[in-house]
Amino acid sequence: MAAFQDKEQILMAYYVQYYNGATIAEVKELDKRLRDEIGEEQYSKAMGELVDQGLALGIEGVEERDREGLEAPMATREGILYVTDALSLQSDMVEETMLYFFEKYLQSSEENGLELTLEPVKAYIQEAIEEHREEKPNSNQP
């Protein structure tokens, strides 16, 4: 079975968090959770690649933007577009349906042999999508 790269999986977690409308505290919480559960070295390497490619801000960038009074999701606009493009999602979809289509894509990828291998990422994505479904039961479907 093939797997998404670590950096892609981590970016997907922040993609889901972006569409869930995370606060700065939630961004920091997810950063810490993934760092602790994936492991400092593996997480830092993947995040370093994402930051270098302009796909994520890194926690320092998030904190800096927050101090400036700006929204501070971990994934950059380029990171959101990267995931949207990589998963063949339409970037002009209504925001409320993005998680629905993201979830459907992941289900079909697993059926076709492409899976998430980082358990902390997989667990977070499942939790976040379920939480979104419970909070807004009719907004996550087209």
Instruction: Inform me whether the pLDDT recorded for 34 exceeds 70.
Output: yes
Tally DSSP H helices, then E strands, for the chain: 7, 2
Instruction: Inform me whether the pLDDT recorded for 92 exceeds 60.
Output: no
Per-residue pLDDT, averaged over 73-78, amounts to 94
Angstrom distance (rounded) from CA 32 to CA 36? 6
pTM for the full predicted model: 0.85
Angstrom distance (rounded) from CA 114 to CA 37? 22
Strand partners, 75: 56
Per-residue pLDDT, averaged over 70-87, amounts to 89
In whole numbers, what is the pLDDT of the chain averaged over residues?
A: 84
